Chains A and B, each alone.
Chain A
């Protein structure tokens, strides 16, 4: 009795799995390719948005002041402590403080923060401001204020030359 009951339970779970798994991303969705961006045209102080895996990615050519601002923040002041250097390094471990590349999705509930386009509000910390629930990010894309729990995510990227970056 117990054995057959247990077998039935195992069978039920084993049968349920394909149906649950069916909702996971399909192979073609997973295979979404990498994106290559030429950053030559982005002037100092400018930022652009590119689409990667259906999400916006912000690429900002930071000014020396913005870099300085990001580097001088005390880690103790950050809700999600991370140094600026750790956020501007590509997969070849090369640090390029002038280029900040982050996924443009607010870590609160997934809105696209403002601050990439010229004239956008950039919040109290001169980075990005999320219009949905008021999260504010600094010049390193780190969360400083508001409901978002984490810094803007940094995708894997590699500078294949000084002006060409491969995201993903």
Chain B
């Protein structure tokens, strides 16, 4: 008779808190919650815009509450974290060979940050 009795360890529900790498992964994924709320804020602002000037200005006014500012600061930090992680991981999806070697991922990341800087400047130029 077999003496085998393989033991299966349970995965703790908070597995992602037990190691920094997993925690950072969950923060990366969790950034999407605040970005979702931000998109809803914008969608609501668009709705208020369609209702006329008074409604739109009321929406603009509501963004000035301390709670709204704190939320947007948090969302900004997490969105930036998303940007950093997205750029650092995206070279893995690039399958270009240059001179018989894979393209250096530092070049890809550098190009991404340059485009990011240009996009940010354009955003500011458009609204101002």
Binding between chains A and B: no
